[in-house]
Chains A and B, each alone.
Chain A
């Protein structure tokens, strides 16, 4: 007779990864409970979003029905609005480029959902992320091209020993294969969502406008400047720009120009050639460790962007929740608001939100008072 293992609450988006995660856990004998989080409401203006829409909830429900496990829809709208959406809007207002998936994982999935897991006596919490946790340590997903550990550094370390990430040990192709094997045809070939789930049509200015009004400074006209201070044009809102961006900049330069800094104080978007994007160090805040805090002087691999190649760096300063690293080789487009994640090979050490690049050739962006 098959012995049922402990209960696991699986966060299910209705996509292939979390559906297969749930199915694999059922196969492994866990007492699976599926849950889809309702995080925001698009009203009627977005009938077919790939994620978080009514259809996605229905897909997750159908998968659970097929697996013979209960499924619930949990309303985490107000907490998500506070912890994720509000921060997202504020970060843009401060001239930064937020990474809401990190905060959703940190606060919504692996904190708020965990409270629900506790209430139903679930020992484990599972998602369809491509990462691995072994004995309370987090590693990159086996399929490096799909690795999502970049978004998971913020989780409370104690939670790691309760996480199950079944698809993190296989490739996406294998995940789809398993979906077919298990007869989950509903979701097996679903298109992967690339957008931020609560941003309609990939246009993040819409949500800024909704929350801060059409006359928000971040959506109001401001100057394009070169790093020597020369004004060379005007833009229609610095929230439309991110560090390293080329699109939408004035033309007429001999070499390709990029956004190298955003100054919300005077709404300036500073542009410059490729070399002005290079940073030799990075400062991050809200640092969270998934291992014992390593000492200053430790050499680590760092990643400043999803899917970027890791770079070698040395921890040169640790100051409460702030960290500074010196890079062995310069890295391009270190973007305030994005994540800095520290690795030792495949092992995730911790991470933080990028405050600024250090040691850039261009003058540092002046932060708003």
Chain B
């Protein structure tokens, strides 16, 4: 009997490039190779394509073309937002940055960098459900706050933060508001005309574009200092020859994601619910993190089974052809305990057994059924062992 095809449950980590996206990009690796800054026909051709792509991305976010800046990805975009805004405002009496302890490392480390450079770092409290404690967030804001940064959808547990409310609170204190929308893009409606964020970051490879391309929305009037120094590309906010092919691919992926958003949400939500229901039915003491949050994105299931450990479960799943993840991987590839789970008050031993399954374009009902089938037997194995080890 041939081995069943592998099941990819790590869409929050990355997704395959969509065929439409690849197709759109191909000419820019070949005949349309020009540098957008060149004045000749090759340059003009690239410039036209780039401008058009920027318009399409802007359209997807309810933004103006002058408000979109392309970056090498989410991490650079987050750095540009947090450090760029703080650098621009710290000398005007705004030396503090407010954020949450569940941010992606790209934001969290940027906030730590602010502190290392002499700024004031303030992280708000979280509820046990994985949502910002709004009162604690509000209390940290003041006339000294340069920028507040809160992710829209958490990448480990999928909880949705009340971005509109938090942005308003930040504005009341005269602070800029940034949101890392890497996991929200393509899942939640993002419209700069409806939600008052000032800066927003998105990434290409989470929505079927290649790795190495991202974008930052910077509302007209919001000033950020560039991270890099060089040419005048992207209005000087991001010097360096534009990654034309990837920008084209990103624009195509963004359009597709926005067009399919509502339908994909229901499809993912149905499968997510089926998976959670099956897991809890067969492993009754399984804990699904963030499940009680008022709002959750539909593509992330983060589950702990007491008495198991993340590493063993991930290995066992992988050896059965099922790819999941846990916590954040360090440079060596080993897993470190999740800062997100500890920030929302999950006990260390429970956090140490958490695994994240994230569904997406490659997931089908059949995948869910197979995972639901295999998961309990792996739990039993990992658990049998753990209890035997305790007994000895």
Contacting pair A54 B312 (CB below 8 A)? no
A-B contacts, 17 listed (Cβ < 8 Å) = A57-B332, A72-B311, A72-B318, A74-B311, A75-B311, A115-B386, A116-B311, A116-B312, A118-B384, A118-B385, A118-B388, A119-B309, A119-B312, A120-B316, A120-B319, A121-B316, A121-B319
Q: Which residues of B contact A (CB under 8 A)?
A: 308-309, 311-316, 318-319, 330-336, 378, 381-382, 384-386, 388-389
Other A-B pairs beyond A57-B333, A61-B333, 9, CB < 8 Å? A33-B315, A38-B334, A70-B319, A111-B389, A115-B386, A116-B311, A118-B381, A119-B385, A120-B315
Closest 5 A/B residue pairs (Cβ):
A119-B312, A118-B385, A75-B334, A73-B334, A73-B333
The distance in angstroms between the C-alpha atoms of A65 and B385, with both chains bound, is 29
Shortest C-beta distance, A68 to chain B (Å), equals 14
Contacting pair B318 A70 (CB below 8 A)? yes
Residues of B within 8 A of A54 (CB): 331-332
Contacting pair A33 B334 (CB below 8 A)? no
Contacting pair B381 A119 (CB below 8 A)? yes
Shortest C-beta distance, B309 to chain A (Å), equals 8
The distance in angstroms between the C-alpha atoms of A67 and B270, with both chains bound, is 40
Q: Which residues of A contact B (CB under 8 A)?
A: 33, 36, 38, 54, 57, 61, 70, 72-75, 111, 115-116, 118-121
From B313, B332, B334, B336, give the contact of A119 (CB < 8 A).
B313
Residues of B within 8 A of A111 (CB): 389
Shortest C-beta distance, B284 to chain A (Å), equals 20
The distance in angstroms between the C-alpha atoms of A61 and B332, with both chains bound, is 10
Contacting pair B381 A121 (CB below 8 A)? yes
Shortest C-beta distance, B226 to chain A (Å), equals 27
Contacting pair A115 B315 (CB below 8 A)? no
Contacting pair B315 A72 (CB below 8 A)? yes
Q: Which residue of B lies closest to A116 (CB)?
A: B312
The distance in angstroms between the C-alpha atoms of A57 and B329, with both chains bound, is 14
User: Are A119 and B318 CB-contacts (below 8 A) given A38-B334, A73-B334, A74-B311?
Assistant: no
The distance in angstroms between the C-alpha atoms of A118 and B53, with both chains bound, is 52
Q: Which residue of B lies closest to A58 (CB)?
A: B332
Contacting pair A75 B381 (CB below 8 A)? no
Q: Which residue of A lies closest to B308 (CB)?
A: A119
The distance in angstroms between the C-alpha atoms of A74 and B378, with both chains bound, is 18
Shortest C-beta distance, A159 to chain B (Å), equals 11
Q: Which residue of A lies closest to B318 (CB)?
A: A70
Contacting pair B334 A74 (CB below 8 A)? yes
Contacting pair A75 B386 (CB below 8 A)? no
User: Are A38 and B332 CB-contacts (below 8 A) given A115-B389, A121-B381?
Assistant: yes
Residues of B within 8 A of A38 (CB): 330, 332, 334
The distance in angstroms between the C-alpha atoms of A119 and B312, with both chains bound, is 6
Shortest C-beta distance, B9 to chain A (Å), equals 17
Shortest C-beta distance, A115 to chain B (Å), equals 5
Contacting pair B311 A33 (CB below 8 A)? no
